[in-house]
Amino acid sequence: MEKELWSYLKTAQKPIVLYGMGNGADKIINVLEKYDIKISGVFASDGFVRDKLFHGFKILSYATLKQQFGDMIVLLCFGSSRPEVMENILKIASEQELYAPEVPVIGGGLFTEEYYKDNLKEFEFVYSRLADDHSRKTFENIVKYKISGKIDYLLECQVSPDEPYSSFLKLDNDNFVDLGAYNGDTVADFINRCPNYSHITAVEPDIKTFKKLQKNTENIENITLVNACVSSECGFLPFAMKGGRNSSLTNGDTLLKSINVDSLNENATYIKMDVEGEEVNAILGAKQTILKSKPKMLISAYHRTDDFIKIPQAVLSIRDDYKIYLRHFEGLPAWDTNFYFI
């Protein structure tokens, strides 16, 4: 087992600096403070260096901190799959110790060595149900990454978004339910891959993003748009409107209509769930649909610490005859990791 990142940082002799600001950096700083780990600086990509402070540190460039400290430990505090950003991250990683600490997007709890050992039987069960060698390799690598923060584990197992469609995910005349449709990007991707689709139901809770979804799909036929959040039950839930991918049911101050998949009354054959930590509840709210139709499902597995356990358990508690695949797409950190149930 890899050495846990937080334990290593507690005894590290090199200065520790953060690369990036924002919500991710805030969460990482909270964990560092919990472990009484001190940081020595913050830097941003050259185009984002500003004459301002972040948690009491002046935001500098990498070159400035490199000149000041020489060797240092860099903690990556944001996610990206953009080629130019990835190139810069890998350049820094070639010169310094660079880690991407795993902190949950939603909810609490850290994916520590202790957490893994405490839930070893559950991890072993999920691993035993994975359907191919690459899924097992991805599972092993991401567990090692989550504990160690070493990005090489992610780089070793990443695949192109096209790979699942050539390997095991076959689309034809599908009735697609897109949960967390954002601005319509996944709708467009689905149509490109399945031009002879039967129907699309696209669900997006954030009102600003929903308006973009409406605009971007106005010329698409056989599509139903739903402005609601997705959970296990129908009703109203507190929702945090953030105008983008970070909108969620966590600490929300707006009551929003909630639906479940079963209430859509759709004979879904393919469901995508990327619902900001509500994946398990969304699965439970699709129980009758899963029992009746056994739809293919793509389910995001990177929002909560226990996603690697709870998502497969939830699906298999409804139907035990799914084949399970796991893929991680290009980008850092592990924010585009998905289970596929076929």
pLDDT at 160: 96
How far apart CA 111 and CA 75 sit, in angstroms, is 16
197 & 281 share domain: yes
58 & 187 share domain: no
70 & 174 share domain: no
Instruction: Please indicate, yes or no, if residue 145 is contained in any of the structural domains.
Output: no
Average the pLDDT over 304-308 and give the result. 96
* CA-closest candidate to residue 291, choices 258, 268, 324, 312: 268
Average pLDDT, the chain: 93
325 & 191 share domain: yes
Instruction: Please indicate, yes or no, if residue 78 is contained in any of the structural domains.
Output: yes
Instruction: Please indicate, yes or no, if residue 155 is contained in any of the structural domains.
Output: no
The answer to which of 125-139, 149-163, 261-275 has the lowest mean pLDDT is 261-275
Q: Indicate the residue among 54, 79, 101 that finishes a domain.
A: 101
Q: Is the predicted pLDDT of residue 247 greater than 50, yes or no?
A: no
Instruction: Please indicate, yes or no, if residue 245 is contained in any of the structural domains.
Output: yes
Instruction: Please indicate, yes or no, if residue 84 is contained in any of the structural domains.
Output: yes
pTM: 0.93
Q: Indicate the residue among 84, 101, 118 that finishes a domain.
A: 101
Question: Do the beta carbons of residue 295 and residue 171 sit within 8 Å?
Answer: no
Instruction: Please indicate, yes or no, if residue 4 is contained in any of the structural domains.
Output: yes
Structural domain count, the chain: 2
pLDDT at 222: 97
Q: Is the predicted pLDDT of residue 65 greater than 50, yes or no?
A: yes
pLDDT at 242: 56
How far apart CA 228 and CA 206 sit, in angstroms, is 8
How far apart CA 147 and CA 141 sit, in angstroms, is 10
Instruction: Band the pLDDT of 266: cuts 50, 70, 90.
Output: confident
Instruction: Band the pLDDT of 44: cuts 50, 70, 90.
Output: very high
Q: Is the predicted pLDDT of residue 2 greater than 90, yes or no?
A: no
pLDDT at 301: 96
Q: Indicate the residue among 47, 81, 101 that finishes a domain.
A: 101
Average the pLDDT over 78-102 and give the result. 96
Taking residue 316's Cβ as centre, other Cβ atoms within 10 Å add up to: 16
How far apart CA 189 and CA 10 sit, in angstroms, is 44
Domain that holds residue 40: 1-101
pLDDT tens-digit readout, 317-337: 999 999 999 999 999 998 899
pLDDT at 253: 64
CATH number at residue 49: 3.40.50.720
Instruction: Band the pLDDT of 165: cuts 50, 70, 90.
Output: very high
CA 314-279-107 angle, to 5 degrees, is 110
The bridge status of strand 41-44 relative to strand 16-19 is parallel
208 & 286 share domain: yes
88 & 217 share domain: no
pLDDT tens-digit readout, 120-144: 999 999 999 999 999 999 999 999 9
Return the C-alpha torsion angle 250, 308, 10, 16, nearest 10.
Answer: -70
How far is C-alpha 322 from the geometric centre of its chain's CA atoms? 22
Instruction: Please indicate, yes or no, if residue 213 is contained in any of the structural domains.
Output: yes
pLDDT tens-digit readout, 185-238: 999 999 999 999 999 999 999 999 999 999 999 999 999 999 999 999 998 888
79 & 192 share domain: no
pLDDT at 62: 96
Between 91 and 257, name the one with better pLDDT.
91
73 & 214 share domain: no
93 & 167 share domain: no
192 & 79 share domain: no
How far apart CA 98 and CA 89 sit, in angstroms, is 9
Instruction: Please indicate, yes or no, if residue 106 is contained in any of the structural domains.
Output: no
Q: What are phi and psi of 5, to 5 degrees?
A: -60, -45
Q: Is the predicted pLDDT of residue 261 greater than 80, yes or no?
A: yes
How far apart CA 27 and CA 14 sit, in angstroms, is 22
CATH number at residue 171: 3.40.50.150
97 & 187 share domain: no
